Amino acid sequence: MAPAIMLAADAPKLSSANTGFMLICSALVMLMTPGLAFFYGGMVRVKSTLNMLMMSFISLGIVTILWVLYGFSLAFGTGNSLLGWNADWIGLSNIGLTQLWDGYTIPVFVFMVFQLMFAIITPALISGALADRVKFSAWALFVALWVTIVYVPVAHWVWGADGWAYKLGVIDFAGGTAVHINAGAAALGVILVIGKRVGFKRDPMRPHSLPLVMLGAGLLWFGWFGFNAGSWLGNDDGVGALMFVNTQVATAAAMLAWLAYEKIRHGACTTLGAASGAVAGLVAITPSGGAVSPLGAIAVGAIAGVACAAAVGLKFKFGYDDSLDVVGVHMVGGIIGSLLIGFFATGKGQSTATGVFYGDHTFTQLWKQCAGVFAVLAYSLIVSAVLAFLLDKTLGMRVTEDEEISGIDQAEHAETAYDFSGAGGGVTGSLAATALAAAQNRKVDA
């Protein structure tokens, strides 16, 4: 943030290079939400594909409007340790076109839109845990309420200049607490309220399109460079470049570690494992990448890959139906990445704070990280569960059992992802017609 005292001659000036860089990063982060839609959309069964895509896409609409109206003001305005406020930012009014963000060389509008993309993808992350069973209208209302009551205050705690976690010294470069623990804990709170899918633990619920999953994972990996490197809000001193490198390194390490775990545990390296491992690495390096070295990033990614691969199986042990492993990947990965700062922070990147392995033998930074992790996890879990409970008791969160069995796409959107019937049905349609004709002939012969 800006120094307390600054001479006019030393005041930052608008940088066209940094402004252009941040606009590109904002666009990359925006691309992550459609990428997430593909990632989740491929992981569900055919009958839920469109609903899964729409649960991500609707966030682009709802959160954008709320962020402009009041979200940005409450998250990043000057307020108190819990919530911000700036009347001039309500509706983005009274912001000059070249007015700079606090001590940086980019306009306020650029910082606002960059943070908007974070606010958009965070509730979209939650949707994967609720696949197959939530009314679209209830989900849309939940997104609006959750962003207002949960995301905005947590973003202020972690990134606001007067937020309590920021002042305490909790390190979260790009969203391990505010985005991933926040979303993962919310997902756990909601699924504990709305219950399991019909057939959970009994029916096979395999991904219907692994190529779609891999496409989504690739888009997420690509967009994540903007998510992480852009969070330094400039490109002047090499910290953003360090974060870029560490993002790639940790993601690669996590993918390999997940695949090794799969091979040892289950005897095969799967495409779903490769995609999930990459995402686990991206999640874990998000809070820590500006504070650790590339070797530290390898450790962070490898630990996250193994831990998240093990964690996704906990839902079968404890009986909570996390449809697409949001808890196991995002909550667990966010916790790991945030806490490992307390061990691997070098004191040479975004912060002078060091971890246990670099001289912090009093565990000072580790305790700070624990405080941030626990506070965000508890707040998001409890408030999200309460929101889901109230919506369930008023509007009803779930579709009917018949609609869930027949397919939520048709029930909620009056569409299906794939149409194999009628003229032009291609090979699949021809096979179906041949099978029908054969069945009719058998009836005649009988």
Q: What is the pLDDT of residue 435?
A: 40
* Cα distance between residue 17 and residue 106, in whole Å: 9
SS3 134: strand
CATH superfamily of 11-405: Ammonium transporter AmtB like domains (1.10.3430.10)
* Cα distance between residue 358 and residue 362, in whole Å: 11
* Cα distance between residue 389 and residue 411, in whole Å: 23
Q: What are phi and psi of 134, to 5 degrees?
A: -110, 135
Q: Please, what's the b/e burial string for 98-131 (b: 16 or more CB within 10 A of its CB; e: otherwise)?
A: eebbeebbbbbbbbbbbbbbbbbbbbbbbbbbbb
Indicate the residue type of 9. Answer: A
Strand ranges for 31-125 from DSSP E: none
CB atoms within 10 A of CB 386: 13
For residue 428, how far is the Cα from the chain centroid?
36
* Cα distance between residue 294 and residue 297, in whole Å: 5
Q: Give the ranges where 129-238 is alpha helix by DSSP (H).
A: 136-146, 152-159, 164-168, 182-194, 210-229
Angle at 11 between CA 7 and CA 14, to 5 degrees: 170
Please give the chain's pLDDT, 446 residues, in tens: 333 444 445 678 999 999 999 999 999 999 999 999 999 999 999 999 999 999 999 999 999 999 999 999 999 999 999 999 999 899 999 999 999 999 899 999 999 999 999 999 999 999 999 999 999 999 999 999 999 999 999 999 999 999 999 999 999 999 999 999 999 999 999 999 999 999 998 998 999 999 999 999 999 999 999 999 999 999 888 999 999 999 999 999 999 999 999 999 999 999 999 999 999 999 999 999 999 999 999 999 999 999 999 999 999 999 999 999 999 999 999 999 999 999 999 999 899 999 999 999 999 999 999 999 999 999 999 999 999 999 999 999 999 999 999 999 999 999 999 987 754 444 444 444 434 344 444 443 43
Q: What is the pLDDT of residue 278?
A: 98
Q: What are phi and psi of 191, to 5 degrees?
A: -70, -25
Enter the pTM of the model.
0.91
SS3 346: strand
Q: What is the pLDDT of residue 204?
A: 87
Long-range contacts of 262-268 (CB under 8 A, 24+ apart): 262/309, 265/309
Q: What is the pLDDT of residue 422?
A: 57
* Cα distance between residue 299 and residue 303, in whole Å: 6
